Amino acid sequence: MGKKVNQICSFFVYPIIKEFPFFALFLFIFSSELIPFAIEMINDFSPLWTRSLLGRIGIILLYDYIFTSLIAHTGSKTLKYIFYVVVLLLYGINLFLLLNFNYRISLNVLILLLETNSREASEFMDGYLLSDSSLTVYWKITLRLLAIIILEFVYNRYIVHRIVEKKRLTHILFVPVLLMCIWGIVSYSTVVRICQHTTTEEFFNQQMMEIIKPKDPISSTILSVYGLFIVGHEMENAIETTKNLKNIPLVDKSDSLNVILVIGESFNKWHTELYGYDHKTTPGLSRESQNGNLFIFNDAVCPFCLTSPSMKGLLSSNSISDGEAWSDYPFFPAIFKAAQYNVYFWDNQRTFNNTEPYSISLNSYLYNEEIINLSYTATNDSSFTYDDELINSFEKKVKSYSDHNLIIFHLMGQHYNAQERFPHDKRFLHFTADSIHRKEPYLKDREKRQHIADYDNAILYNDYVIQHILNLFREKNTVMVFLTDHGEETYDYKDSMYRNYEGMTKGWIKHIHSIPFMVWCSDTYIKNHEKTVEAIKNSTERSFMTDNLCQLLFHLGEIESDYYIPERDVISDRFVPRKRIIEDVIKYEKYDYDEIKNQQ
């Protein structure tokens, strides 16, 4: 009996004694980020916070013990080296994201990674590879690597052989190790509960409901990869829904009609004189407004701050405010095509890395073979450095605009890095650091003022691109809607740029979620659709959210079907304002936009 007890004690305790350097360094590397959380908990004690902190430590200890046991019981040095590399790699990636973007390893980071093309990756590397934050990551990893080498050498050379066979030490450590394992298993049940869900809504809600928030790099990676499978399933469902369209009447083709949708990128509306900016960054659109062809909507809100969820919401026929999931409703361009429209989709963010059948990336959805057949008459087959080259491509390929056409342009707009989004010639190098006269202390830095000037120049170029589009259709029966997927920040209300998330504040929602939205009508369209134009004029002060964009387009495109819901159409006299739900895609929390906007 005593021998059996000794064997059990030895089995549980041996890994920690034999591989103590790995156990200690694993715990230190992954738990060090909990120190600020622990300090905050001490200053503002709460039983829930205590339970959350202890649970997160328990999960880390469980991973630590599992890894250490595998190394000790297999006796494989190769496995130990692999585990050290994995630990340092996950730690480094998480720290890099945290210091540069205030993000962690998450589902959205994986989505962004999958959606990043080679050009964006190159620009990203140029911007962040040698940043101050990145250099901090490198030296911290180096210090931990040195600690690994020194501790492994000292422990294995001078200590381990003295204690590994001591039964008394084994007996002393058995109970703490057993309690540690039980503690870790109980804490890890959080991850198990989260991974029992099969929809993103339930998946994210469960994360919010849990007291223990498993944010260590290993748990984050597990949850993110599982999330990919869920989202992949939803995309498959969205494709199936689009295939089964019902009751789509054909449009009346007695006259031709062009409905154009231009989707910008990272456009901060407070950087255009159309919304009160002190620089004239959109002279062309301003002329259209003065001439009575352009109508500016002043209170449009986008639900997300990232391209992928925003685009899915824009191009699906669901309503987020009504609790509808994008994957349960058809892709609206397919509805136009079913109504006998020609549908052209020219996308300057297109990539062709669709190697997995159920890839969750946005582009794999937009260019799924079945979606292409159901939704598009033609698409572009390459991307371009500048957006106007995309319009040139369209102009060369599509020679006729007869019948009814839905034409969608998805631009690069002001996407990071803004200075790369416009040709550097005299026409667009209009603003300089000297043009920026703001007085914030952090803008004493000339380089930061130049970033603002580059962003304004990118908007100036965007205005030029839109004028090119309008000139193609100016003499035709045409209506155009312009909006952006989300806004942007460029030292607008704090010392940061490129959506460095620090909470759902009034400044954040103003610059990121309050977006430009406008409708342009050609003279022919104004003459032929007086009632519709009057409805547009009367709706510019309405508060609405862009997830119901398709309802406006159905109205403009004169598509009558079960999918058109006038209560969601911002220019309909039956329009009903809805609660505008915006989402924090880092923490997956939902907020009422107007509640935050109206906070004192």
Write the pLDDT tens digit of every residue in 260-291. 999 999 999 999 999 999 999 999 999 999 99
Q: Which of 316-325, 352-361, 438-447, 455-464 has the lowest mean pLDDT?
A: 352-361
Buried-exposed string 494-533: b where 16+ CB fall within 10 A, e elsewhere: eebbbbebeebeeebbbbbbbbbbbbbbbebbbeebeebb
The pLDDT value given to residue 533: 97
Residue type, 314: L
pLDDT at 356 over 60: no
Instruction: Tell me whether strands 294-301 and 544-545 are parallel, antiparallel or unpaired.
Output: parallel
Measured in degrees and rounded to the nearest 5, phi and psi for residue 478 equal: -140, 140
Q: Which of 538, 575, 540 is nearest to 555 (CA)?
A: 575
Give the whole-angstrom CA distance, residue 479 versus residue 526. 9
Nearest in space to 570 (alpha carbons), one of 166, 298, 354, 370: 298
Query: Residues of the chain with pLDDT > 70: what percent?
Result: 90
The C-alpha atoms of residue 76 and residue 84 are separated, in whole angstroms, by: 13
Query: Is the separation of the CB atoms in 390 and 382 below 8 Å?
Result: no
pLDDT (0 to 100) of residue 117: 62
Cβ proximity of 552 and 524 under 8 Å: no
Check: CB of residue 261 under 8 Å from CB of residue 409: yes
The secondary element (H helix, E strand) that includes residue 581 is strand 581-584
Give the H or E element holding residue 47. Answer: helix 47-74
Specify the pairing of strand 294-301 against strand 342-347.
unpaired
Q: Could you give the percent of the chain with pLDDT greater than 90?
A: 50
Distance CA 1, CA 584 (A): 58
Sheet with 342-347: strands ordered across: 378-379, 342-347, 404-410, 257-264, 478-484, 514-521, 294-301, 544-545
Q: In the chain, what are the domain boundaries? A: 2-232, 254-597
| Out of 39-53, 365-379, 435-449, least confident range | 39-53
Least confident range from 92-96, 409-413, 536-540: namely: 92-96
Q: Residue 77 CA to chain centroid, in angstroms? A: 40
* pLDDT for the residue 165: 66
What is the pLDDT at residue 151? 92
Q: What mean pLDDT is predicted for residues 71-76?
A: 91
For residue 417, say if its preceding peptide bond is cis, omega within 30 degrees of 0: yes
DSSP SS3 for 273: helix
SS3 content of the chain, % helix, strand, coil (to 5): 60, 10, 30
* Helices and strands: H and E segment counts in the chain: 24, 10
Residue type, 179: L
Helix (H, G, I), strand (E, B) or coil at 55: helix
Query: Which CATH superfamily includes the segment(s) 254-597?
Result: Alkaline Phosphatase, subunit A (3.40.720.10)
Secondary structure (3-state) at 515: strand
> 518 or 507, which is more confident?
518
333's CB contacts (< 8 A; 6+ apart) are: 315, 343, 345, 375, 376, 406, 408
Q: Using CA of residue 347, residue 351, residue 357, residue 360, what is the dihedral sign?
A: negative
22-41 pLDDT, tens digit each: 999 999 988 877 777 677 66
Phi, psi dihedrals of residue 240, rounded to the nearest 5°: -65, -40
**CA–CA separation, 233 vs 374, rounded Å?**
19
pTM, rounded to two decimals: 0.73
* DSSP string over 84-115: HHHHHHHHHHHHHHHHHHS--S-HHHHHHHHH
- pLDDT at position 355: 33
- CA end-to-end distance (rounded Å), the chain: 71
List CB contacts of 61: < 8 A, sequence separation 6 or more: 27, 180, 183, 184
Question: Cα-Cα-Cα-Cα dihedral of 538, 539, 541, 542, to 10°?
Answer: 140
Pairwise CA distance, residues 463 & 269, whole Å: 12
pLDDT, one tens digit per residue, over 165-210 is 667 777 778 888 888 989 999 999 999 988 887 766 567 667 767 8
Which residue bears the tokens 């911290």?
A: 140
**What span, in angstroms and rounded, lies between the C-alpha atoms of 498 and 505?**
16
**Cβ-proximal residues to 570 (8 Å cutoff; 6+ apart), any chain:** 297, 539, 542, 544, 548, 551, 552
Higher pLDDT, 523 or 122: 523
- CA dihedral sign of residues 493, 495, 500, 504: negative
Say which range, 159-173, 325-339, 461-475, 569-583, has the weakest mean pLDDT. Answer: 159-173
